[in-house]
Structures are given as structure tokens and as C-alpha cells.
Amino acid sequence: MSLRTRYEFTLPRGYVDRNGDVHRDGVMRLATARDELEPLRDPTVTGPDDPRLTIVVLARVVESLGTLPMVTPHEIEGLFAADLAYLQDFYGVINFGSQEEFEEFVAAQRAVQSPGASASASPSVAGGDTSVAPAPDAAAPAAATAPDAPAPARPGRAAIEEIRSETRA
């Protein structure tokens, strides 16, 4: 048995680049300890509670987004709030969740896009070292748009915590 290390995703809204092109499909890889530690050395990050830490960590693990040549903190900062929340949840599920939690997350995202979708359509994440799990084809975070759809799992996170409510404007 080998470990899947890369996962495809589809952002609910998509990143709009300076030319007006929308980039929704991407690949996120599993985070390493270095991915969570190095951003703490970034001079723009003031500590483990700094909301910018989320941006820097995501920029390290999102390997591709549409046709962008690279994903940097600039692109992550330019995401719509729904897309940032989606990537935070996706990060949590693939790095800290179980196979079942990943499948529930994918099923919830599919249910949002096509309310008749069944949970049995969830992809398996067992596979080769660098293979990519299929994207969940998300249209929007389940909790935000479909009250009757199951909410995606939100397992605990290390360096990539949700932005605390007291830091929101």
C-alpha cells in the first residue's frame, strides 16, 4: 500500500488573474513539517496566531491552480473568501482527516453542485506515491449554501488555523 500525496480540487468561485481569466482547478500536496515551520520564519508573519500564516502555508502546498505558472502568497491573497475557506478545509481534510472524512468532504461538495449526487461516487485515495485524487467538483462550501447538505469535516489543524473571529474586520 502506498500513500497518496497529491489531491485535485476545484475552487467554488476561482482565482481571477490580472487578465480576467478564472482559475478554479488545482492540485494540493500533503504538507510536510517544513511547510508548517518555515513560514514562521517569514518576516511578514508575526507568530503562530498571525492570519498571514495561513496564506504562506497554502502558497507552499498548492502546486498548481489553473494555468498559472506558479502559486505564490500573492495569488492566495487574491482568492475570494469562499475559496480561501474551501482551501483551508481541503488542507485540513487531506492532512489531518481520515479516508472517511475525505470521502464525506468530497460527497458534501458534490451534493452542493448536484443535490442528487450519492456519497458512493466519492473517489478513493489509495494509490501511488504521486498520484492525484480526483477533484470534488465543488460549487461552494456546503455549510454556506445548502443547509440540508452534510457539512464537510473540519478536523484539527496545526499551523493553518482558521482566522480567528476577533481578527476579522
Question: What are the pLDDT digits (tens) for 131-144?
Answer: 555 555 443 333 33
Residue 23, in any domain of the structure: yes
Q: What is the CA radius of gyration of the chain?
A: 15
* Contact indicator for 4, 103 with CB cutoff of 8 Å: no
Domain count, the chain: 1
Identity of the amino acid at 107: A
- Bridge-partner residues for 22, per DSSP? 16
Residue 1, in any domain of the structure: no
Q: Residue 102: which residues within 8 A CB-CB, separation 6 or more?
A: 93, 94, 122, 125, 133
What pLDDT does 139 receive? 38
What pLDDT does 110 receive? 80
What pLDDT does 115 receive? 56
Question: What are the pLDDT digits (tens) for 1-18?
Answer: 788 899 999 999 999 999
CB atoms within 10 A of CB 31: 20
Report CA 84 to chain centroid distance, whole Å: 7
50-61 mean pLDDT: 96
- For 12, the grid coordinates are 467554488
* Contact indicator for 108, 97 with CB cutoff of 8 Å: no
Identity of the amino acid at 74: H
- For 140, the grid coordinates are 461552494
Residue 78, in any domain of the structure: yes
pTM of the model: 0.70
What pLDDT does 131 receive? 52
Identify the residue whose cell numbers are 500536496.
29
Question: What are the pLDDT digits (tens) for 98-124?
Answer: 989 999 998 888 887 665 544 333 333
Range of the domain at 55: 6-121+130-167
